[in-house]
A and B are shown apart, each in its own frame.
Chain A
Amino acid sequence: MSDELIWRIAGGSGDGIASTSQNFAKALMRSGLHVFTHRHYPSRIRGGHTYVEVRASADPVKSRGDGYNFLLALGDSFARNPQEDAYYGNEEVKPLSENLDELREGGVIVYDSGLLDPSEIPDFEERVEENDWHVYDMDLRSLAREQGREVMRNTAGVGVTCAITGIPLEAIEELMRDAMPEKILEPNLEIMQTAYDLVNEEYDVDAPDVSVPTGDHDEEQVLMSGSDAIAYGAIDEGCRFIAGYPMTPWTEVFTIMSQNLPELGGISEQVEDEIAAAALAIGASHMGVKAMSGSSGGGFALMGEPLGLAEMTETPLVLIEAMRAGPSTGMPTKPEQADLEHVLYTSQGDSQRVVLAPGTVAEAYDASRRAFQLAYEYQIPTMIIYDQKLSGELTNVPASHFDREPNADIGMTLTEEELAEQPHTGDGKFHRFQHDGEDGVSPRSVPGQKGGRFLATGNEHNPAGHISEDPDNRVAQMDRRQRKLDAIRTDLDDDGLLVEHGPSDADYGILTFGSQQGTVEEAVDRLNENGTSVKALTVGELAPYPEEAVRAFLDSVEETLVVEMNASAQFRGLTQKELGTHGEQLSSLLKYNGNPFEPREIVEGFTTNVVEDGELPGNETKFVPAAGD
């Protein structure tokens, strides 16, 4: 019996896969387990093969895990329209056929025999026998149709799951009562109970084939995604203005903020394009309001222009970049970490910005709060770069992590009283861009304040704000703006944005950033259990780059493998650029097929390439040797 359940619910988009899995995950979390979800979906509204995995274990889980051990093949992947016999696509058996490769030995298959016919899948019976899979064929469609509506077959599937794994129905019922209106609650409850009973009547499930472990939390947990966490971090920092244009997966943060801001007295604006979106955030921030915008790769490309404006006018600005696979529109619903260079270097001139890269849901909340603090304290654009994986994955986090004081401080902004006393008003005018402060920050005023009149311009300007091409002024202004980054680097040193994992005296290292943190850490644990001495460093601060800390890490090991989800080893390139050394020590493990790493791929990649100097077994991942090889 396995010590963890990895439940994969598969079907077509629009089959309720996401909501069902979310409820299921929450029920498992409430029962005391640690959970982690992984979502795979196509770029279409209805139909198309989609699945969600819910991993549950008594011990903390940090990734999707390797493969899975319970398949609920819920419906076909057809899209239907209301006309009888009108179908789109040709995906009759995908929920079953597409998911068998990663199902573990001894795993369970439940399929909806009302919709799926395994005789259409080559060698199905042989594979079942070979892998010792336990198959349950249930006519979930008919069952749902008889007692309610066909679409409720997802509830029937959950009932079957509970019967097979030994999960008490009460846990799920409670959630359904919270989430469903009375009218559809009753039939759903009946359908779940009937399905549950049916399994017990037709199969011998006294000793479950796959069971659910039992666990207990030390403290109350909440189920949250990276997008939830970023939105809540922003709200807690007093962000009350958001402007955006929908684009997957950024839309998640935009939606959460838009749904909640009006109740909090804030403003959300969906606008004509991403240039406008970032420009609106700048306009609101200029007025003294905490504001944000963001997008994903293609939309963020349009923001390069206003980003530079924020830098030059020193207007605080927080931008979110939710990466997905590119180039261009790429793979809209698939994760990748290939916008790193795009975010670091977009916009013309010697531009300055801060880039944070949270690795976990909890860190996403912290990074969001920190982004606002830095942007407003230093009057500089601050970006959070994360990806489709972290944006949508749900995991449990102690509720206490979010139990913190709000902070709406807008940084170095003067009050009218302070403006009246400012030494910046030598000639009777407020000198907004005065060269003072070691950290390069000049206090600002906002429109409507007495005594604070100034011009903000994207042209180079003198301390008073007037356009200037004077060479001495240019150098002084540029130097001052650059100085901010040194101050921020020092400021961030204590923030714990570098997370080390594994034995400190390890022989080898793995370096990664962002959403691969948890997967890498699981791999590191396994490698150490297997006798390989390795530790990991996840870098959560990409600009300014924490070169000293990374250098110390690299110096402490013989060789380091850089793990990232892109084809051109961008993070490794950044590290080498910033450090100017270690090229002969850094090899890369890359994955860019649209799926995030599984821990076993990192274990394999590390073992074969770094330890044994061999070749990778599969073509899912790619190994790039160190420059000195």
Chain B
Amino acid sequence: MSAFSAIGEEREIDRNEYTPDIEPQPTWCPGCGDFGVLKSLKGALPEVGRTPEETLLVTGIGCSGKLNSYLDSYGFHTIHGRSLPVARAAKLANPDVEVIAAGGDGDGYGIGGNHFMHTARENHDMTYIVFNNEIFGLTKGQTSPTSPKGHKSKTQPHGSAKTPIRPLSLSLTSGASFVARTAAVNPNQAQRILKEAMEHDGFAHVDFLTQCPTWNKDAKQYVPYTDINESDDYDFDPTNRADAQELMRETEDKLYEGEVLTGVYYRDDERPSYQQEKQNIGEMPDEPLAERYFDDDYEWERSYDSFIDKHK
């Protein structure tokens, strides 16, 4: 019998199971987009069939980092920008656990940018949700990597001289095998995309547009969003890399001006996940490594038997 009986348990899951019994009231501001992420995640997890106890949510720091205080699963609230490396190893150590990483735009595209690029490159099997509100919220409204050029804040009083980062293009170029954008004001689409992301075998990056009613009132977070997967105007095939690239370029140019496109931009279901690649070259055990530490019958190899001869 597995040491982890919560894994793979097949039963009806109520979304309220993810709500902590003793409710720490969310400290997000009224009207914050983060409520939308929480809601759609609570909706998507049961649909994927994942119980709270087989789910590990790894977050960074900031308003987004509080997500795992309000979503009652196994949780690891790490440090600014470091959710991905912690999550990657967790998944490698026990691939049977559903691993979701989450963080903000400063957290994920700024301080954690290097990890983002490499996690996408390696195509780790996990879902990465970036709460993108184009602002540093919890530190009280500084310019973030996704703030538009010219954005004024206390730390950029003359307006930012930097063009914003292009998360979708960056993700695709780096090697993510699933790239999507959704918005907190579109709960149905968000839930659908999160479900698809979790079911995807590989690195699924979801850029989640969230509004910050306190520090970023000017951001166009409430504009109508067009779903590229459902709009007849686009007739879009997300498995076509070139088309995805073109559309990403377009929407990332226009995000601060006109129409905002959301939906699944790209998916490559053929590319093996990193875990699979590692298994193929013989660098990853077939059974979850974590299981072995709970197996009293496992015979641990020792260095004396394996290596001592070459030192004699």
List chain A positions with a Cβ less than 8 A from chain B. 30, 220-224, 228, 231-233, 235-236, 238, 240-241, 243, 260, 262-269, 271-273, 275-277, 279-284, 286-291, 305-306, 308-309, 313, 399, 402-408, 410, 413, 415-416, 427-429, 446-459, 464-467
A residues less than 8 Å from B293 (CB atoms): 238, 288-290, 408, 410, 413
Interface size of B by CB at 8 A reads: 63
A residues less than 8 Å from B222 (CB atoms): none
B residues less than 8 Å from A288 (CB atoms): 93-94, 290, 293-294
Is there contact, CB below 8 Å, between B94 and A448?
Answer: yes
Is there contact, CB below 8 Å, between B77 and A458?
Answer: yes
Is there contact, CB below 8 Å, between B89 and A291?
Answer: yes
Given known contacts A402-B303, A410-B293, A453 and B90 CB-to-CB distance under 8 angstroms: no
Residue of B with least CB distance to A235: B303
A residues less than 8 Å from B304 (CB atoms): 236, 399, 402-404
Given known contacts A222-B312, A276-B118, A402-B308, A287 and B73 CB-to-CB distance under 8 angstroms: no
Given known contacts A223-B311, A289-B290, A448 and B89 CB-to-CB distance under 8 angstroms: no
13 other contacts beyond A283-B87, A287-B97, A448-B4, with CB at 8 A cut-off? A233-B303, A235-B303, A240-B292, A283-B93, A284-B89, A289-B93, A291-B89, A404-B302, A427-B22, A428-B21, A447-B90, A457-B76, A458-B77
Q: B306 contacts which of A264, A286, A308 (Cβ < 8 Å)?
A: A264
B residues less than 8 Å from A236 (CB atoms): 302-304
B residues less than 8 Å from A220 (CB atoms): 312
B260 in the interface, Cβ–Cβ < 8 Å?
no
Residue of B with least CB distance to A416: B5
Given known contacts A241-B289, A264-B301, A289-B289, A456 and B77 CB-to-CB distance under 8 angstroms: yes
Is there contact, CB below 8 Å, between B290 and A262?
Answer: no
Is there contact, CB below 8 Å, between B79 and A399?
Answer: no
B10 in the interface, Cβ–Cβ < 8 Å?
no
A residues less than 8 Å from B90 (CB atoms): 283-284, 286-287, 447
B residues less than 8 Å from A447 (CB atoms): 53-56, 74, 90, 94, 97
Given known contacts A265-B292, A284-B93, A289-B290, A399 and B308 CB-to-CB distance under 8 angstroms: yes
B160 in the interface, Cβ–Cβ < 8 Å?
no
Given known contacts A305-B82, A449-B3, A260 and B306 CB-to-CB distance under 8 angstroms: yes
B residues less than 8 Å from A231 (CB atoms): 303
Considering the chains assembled together, what is the distance between the CA atoms of A447 and B100 in angstroms?
Answer: 13
B26 in the interface, Cβ–Cβ < 8 Å?
no
List chain B positions with a Cβ less than 8 A from chain A. 3-7, 21-22, 24, 52-56, 58, 66, 68-69, 72-79, 82, 84-90, 92-94, 96-97, 114-115, 117-118, 278, 282-285, 289-290, 292-294, 298, 300-304, 306-308, 311-312
Chain B nearest CB: distance from A512 CB in Å?
27
Given known contacts A271-B118, A276-B115, A458-B79, A243 and B89 CB-to-CB distance under 8 angstroms: yes
B residues less than 8 Å from A305 (CB atoms): 79, 82
Considering the chains assembled together, what is the distance between the CA atoms of A405 and B302 in angstroms?
Answer: 7
The 4 closest A-B pairs by CB, nearest first: A283-B89, A448-B4, A232-B303, A457-B77
Residue of B with least CB distance to A451: B53
